Amino acid sequence: MNPYVNMAVGALLATVFVMMSVSIASEGIFHSAAPEKEGFAIVAAEPTGDAAAGEAAPAAVPIAQLLVKADAKAGEAVFKKCQACHSGEKGGPNKVGPDLWGVVDRPIASHEGFAYSAAIKDFSKGGAEHWTFEHLNHFLTAPKAYIKGTAMGFAGLKKDEERANLIAYLHSLSDAPVPLPDPNAPAPATN
């Protein structure tokens, strides 16, 4: 047989082998990650997440239930991830992002002296929308998926427990924290 044909066949077989290995490997990764991500994938595809906050992540556990077991002390450690850009002190400075003292239930995009992006200002509907536990939960899971075009350059906290601890800590950053949501309230209608 022509040696070039042999080489070509060899190369073709090698390519097929590599492609099969890659496809098997990536399938493995995909399968292990898929069930947890499903709910968030839907959030990403939802262009009007703000209008349907309760329905934005049908598969996600409601934040009211996550907060029952949340630990604000552990959340304080998670907050270190935010501190490059945010202060959490009362009267603290705006850094790359606005100061987060009292952020729970604060009107969205309302901190004095901070130049918010058009995206988050739109989302706030002129301050009518507040940072409810639900909004915080979805926003902090995947900021850019929940508020498209936000200037917040943070990938998000995908782990329910870590995020709930952090939200419990944010809740404590207030002179008069708002009541925690009722974990027994019927969940907002999912699909």
Write the CA distances from 23 to 16, 19, 31, integer angstroms: 10, 6, 12
CA angle 84, 177, 79 (to 5 degrees): 20
Neighbours of 36 (CB within 10 A): 12
Stretch that binds ligand HEC, among 5-13, 17-25, 30-38, 79-87 (CB under 6 A): 79-87
Pairwise CA distance, residues 28 & 34, whole Å: 10
Q: Does the footprint of ligand HEC cover residue 74 (CB under 6 A)? A: no
- 33 CB-near residues (< 8 Å, 6+ apart): none
**Cβ atoms 52, 150 nearer than 8 A:** no
Q: How many of the chain's residues bind ligand HEC (CB under 6 A)?
A: 27
Pairwise CA distance, residues 147 & 95, whole Å: 20
Q: Does the footprint of ligand HEC cover residue 120 (CB under 6 A)? A: yes
Stretch that binds ligand HEC, among 1-9, 26-34, 56-64, 93-101 (CB under 6 A): 93-101
Residues 132-191 that bind ligand HEC (CB under 6 A): 140, 150-154, 157, 166
Q: Which residue has the tokens 């739109």?
A: 122
Q: Does the footprint of ligand HEC cover residue 119 (CB under 6 A)? A: yes
- 135 CB-near residues (< 8 Å, 6+ apart): 53, 108, 129
- Residue closer to ligand HEC by CB (options 18, 49) is 49
- Residue closer to ligand HEC by CB (options 10, 149) is 149
CB of 162 to ligand HEC, least distance (A): 9
CB of 114 to ligand HEC, least distance (A): 7
Q: Does the footprint of ligand HEC cover residue 103 (CB under 6 A)? A: yes
* Residues found near ligand HEC in the complex (CB under 6 A): 81-82, 84-86, 96-98, 100, 103, 108-111, 116-117, 119-120, 131, 140, 150-154, 157, 166
